[in-house]
Amino acid sequence: MATRKAAKKSPSKKAKKKSSKKSSPRKYSPSAGKDVEREMKAFKQGKLKSGRSGKTVTTRKQAIAIGLSEARKEGKKVPPASKR
């Protein structure tokens, strides 16, 4: 019987893989996130009203949109609203 040497496995391949992607800068500023958080809290309490009509906001998407809109008005770092 011939003796075989065990193949050495390199642990570095399984340990950590370096991502080839570079980290991108954040799209929303932290303060914009706080604006959205504040609007979501008002929405959950049932106190969030929409613009002119003053009707109560009924969906999470509306609450988020209101928060981002207010952040844009204040000049915070938020991507422009999508044009349909």
CA–CA separation, 79 and 56 (whole Å): 26
Domains of the chain by residue range? 27-79
How many residues would you count in the chain?
84
| pTM across the whole model | 0.67
Residue 32 is predicted with a pLDDT of 94
DSSP for residue 5: P
Give every CB contact of residue 68 below 8 A, 6+ residues apart in sequence: 32, 35, 36, 78, 81
Structure-derived torsion over alpha carbons of residues 43, 48, 54, 60, reported in degrees to the nearest 10:
-30
pLDDT above 80: residue 1 = no
Q: What confidence category does residue 7 fall into, taking pLDDT thresholds of 50, 70 and 90?
A: low
- pLDDT per residue as tens digits for the range 25-79: 889 999 999 999 999 999 999 999 998 999 999 999 999 999 999 999 999 999 9
